[in-house]
Structure 1
Amino acid sequence: MHVVLPAGVDDLSIPSGGNVYDRRVLRELVGLGVDVRETAVAGGWPRPGPQACEELARTLAEVPDGGVVLLDGLVACGVPDVVVPHADRLRLVVLVHLPLADETGIDPGVAAGLDAAERRVLAAAAAVVGTSPWASRRLVEHHGLAPDRVRTVTPGVDPADLAPGTDGVSRLLCVASVTPRKGHDVLLDALATLVDVPWTLDCVGPLRDDGHVRRLRRVADGFGDRVRFTGPLDGEPLDRAYAAADLFVLASRAETYGMVVTEALARGIPVVASSVPDALGGGGVLVPPGDVAALAGELRRWFGDERVRRDLRDAAHLRRDRLAGWREAAEEMARVLVRVRG
């Protein structure tokens, strides 16, 4: 099996859920005995320059007729003129982490162009993989795909020790790239209504040098030392951040799954979040995306009522016991590839 990924999937300085998913599923596929031939293509995906398009075209041209190719949607979905011509001779499987037009903050004209390009690519693919039931349903409905061509392979999660937390109440953790889609502004606005409560917030995730991050930093400065933007963490430092958390919060405007939520739940950490129904799975409180008042209300209930805190911890522990691992995710992906191979 051939796999085409965006370059940077192993760069720990820019961790993302998509990168983690790609790397872990491929590692487990190899462990299952699947012959994985991987190519990472550099470029400004999903809107690359000519050189990246040429490299992708060359990569696909080198795959023998009838070969199965698993393409990360970030690479494939924006360049139908490169990908679609190979659909008749190759068995293309496109893995969609997030529909291209769903990224927050894209110019409407650009989003419409990416949406049309993605529709062409997915229509030509032998199979499409969504990373959650919600994502698969959206791909079917939005792009008019036949339901039997869209498969769901949800992310796995590694087993983890229960997080001891700090004082059981006040230490909040958000793990997410600091982009408009992740809703840090919504979270800070909600916390601004709770200045009478002794909370602290650690925001873990990549920080771009852009206007959005600068605006968030100005807001955070108004909280003194109660809000910290730590940048990306991995390995033991990230484990320590989870271990210290009393409550995990994620105010995303849109997610296809929300792997950080299951990583928190794997540690028994209570969760209040938006846009992550499949990851949460009843293991916490789901609030409407972008709703500052609803988020603030749930946080005030958490801070003010030990019974609420106990119920959320119990829900997290129940969900923890039901989470599947990465081996199960790879086994499901392998079944998709076998079906495509015929």
Structure 2
Amino acid sequence: MRLVLAVPGDLSAPTGGYAYARKLLAHLPAQGVAVTHLALPGGFPDPSSDDLARTATLLAQVPEDAVLLVDGLAYGALPPTVIRAARRPVAALVHHPLGYETGLSPQRAASLVAGERAALALASRVVATSRYTVRLLAAEFGVAPERIAVAEPGTPPSPRVAPRPGPHVRLLAVGTVSPRKGYDVLVRALATLADLDWSLTIAGSLDRAPECCAALRDQIAASPLRDRIALAGAVTPEALDRLYAEADLAVSASLFEGYGMALTEALARGLPLVATRGGAAAETVPAGAGLTVPPGDVPALAAALRGLIADPARRAGAAAASWAAGQRLPDWPDTAAAIAAFLRTPA
């Protein structure tokens, strides 16, 4: 089978969605899929008229014998005229709906949801990255369940991080600095824990949402705990491995996740977790592996963090449950196999 994977923007960008695309390109050939990357304009999900015209031309040039799979960052923002211009079946890869991004005006969110609903109505089939997203697309976007398949992101096996009794507890939060990740909520929660011995490293791109990043820097600078919080920015895979190995507790304050790859990376290493239940994250974090709280709830997040920072035995128990759950996670060859099998099935 030939497959063209169309992805907008810079494929090397350090986000979960782009990492997913890179892994598919690397692992689909082992599933008998001759896969090619098609670079779409980088303006999505807010494409200009030129971006849309260029995209229509590129999609129309895909060979007739190839399956066309378009990443949701672009697909959800494609007008029906552009999808039809491809003159062929078009499949969509959905990480999470575009209109569910935090920080959008109500009008913009509604427009994105309406546009994505219209686009998905034209998709020959849809690959979603979590069971939560499958249910969401069926219930809220009108996608027939038989046209959707789930292909969770892979999580490679990693060395176990042995629990440490402390007293200093190193917290690690991984993910792009953007409104949806809730780092402002996390800093506010930590401000109530000055009596405990902790430090926080935030590892994630600082240039995807410049205004959000600037506000976070100001918030940290104004805090009496500013010396305990480090913004590491986007880091190499090797540096991220070191940060995980040095961490005692993984934390996510995200308001919504289509899956939560940083959460499963922590599980694969046996790190205890404190995470919000936004979107698919409620299902990604298994019972016993840590504590989960409602998204945006500062007191609840602070209480959960206190409960694990202050109690080494409780952290160790959560770490054991995290490690056990991490050993059951799919790896990238499993993800690629699921997508290959689904796309081979007649629509």
The TM-score normalised by the length of structure 1 is 0.93
**Residues 1:301 and 2:307 aligned together:** yes
What's the CA shift for 1:162? Answer: 1.4
Tell me, which stretches of 5 or more residues in structure 1 are unaligned?
none
Tell me, which stretches of 5 or more residues in structure 2 are unaligned?
none
Task: Work out the CA distance in 1 between the residues paired with 2:81 and 2:180.
Answer: 29
Q: Identify which of 229, 235, 238 aligns with 2:237.
A: 235
Task: Work out the CA distance in 1 between the residues paired with 2:283 and 2:270.
Answer: 17
Q: Which amino acid aligns with 1:29?
A: L
**Residues 1:129 and 2:131 aligned together:** no
3-state SS, counterpart of residue 272 of structure 1: strand
Q: How many pairs are equivalent?
A: 337
Task: Work out the CA distance in 1 between the residues paired with 2:292 and 2:85.
Answer: 42
Q: Which amino acid aligns with 1:297?
A: A
Would the aligned equivalents of 2:7 and 2:70 in 1 still touch at CA under 8 Å? yes
What's the CA shift for 1:240? Answer: 0.9
Task: Work out the CA distance in 1 between the residues paired with 2:95 and 2:82.
Answer: 18
Q: Among the aligned pairs, what percent are the same residue?
A: 40
3-state SS, counterpart of residue 34 of structure 2: coil
What's the CA shift for 1:64? Answer: 4.1
Q: Identify which of 92, 96, 99 aligns with 2:97.
A: 99
Deviations 1:150-209 (A, max 9, x none): 111100111111124665461000011111100101111111110000110001111137
Deviations 1:24-46 (A, max 9, x none): 02211012220112211123101
1:167 to 1:309, Cα distance in 2 relative to 1, 3 A: closer
Q: What does residue 120 of structure 1 align with?
A: 118
1:231 to 1:166, Cα distance in 2 relative to 1, 3 A: farther
Spell out the pairing of 1:181-260 with structure 2 (5 A cutoff). 181-208=180-207, 210-221=210-221, 222=223, 223-260=225-262
What's the CA shift for 1:279? Answer: 2.3
Q: What does residue 109 of structure 2 align with?
A: 111
Q: Which amino acid aligns with 2:185?
A: V
1:333 to 1:99, Cα distance in 2 relative to 1, 3 A: same
Would the aligned equivalents of 2:25 and 2:36 in 1 still touch at CA under 8 Å? no
3-state SS, counterpart of residue 181 of structure 1: helix
3-state SS, counterpart of residue 312 of structure 1: helix
Spell out the pairing of 1:30-45 with structure 2 (5 A cutoff). 30-45=29-44
**Residues 1:173 and 2:172 aligned together:** yes
Task: Work out the CA distance in 1 between the residues paired with 2:312 and 2:245.
Answer: 20
Would the aligned equivalents of 1:166 and 1:245 in 2 still touch at CA under 8 Å? no
Q: Identify which of 268, 271, 274 aligns with 1:269.
A: 271
3-state SS, counterpart of residue 36 of structure 1: strand
Backbone CA RMSD of aligned residues: 1.7
The TM-score normalised by the length of structure 2 is 0.92
Would the aligned equivalents of 2:182 and 2:296 in 1 still touch at CA under 8 Å? yes
| 188-197 or 55-64: bigger deviation | 55-64
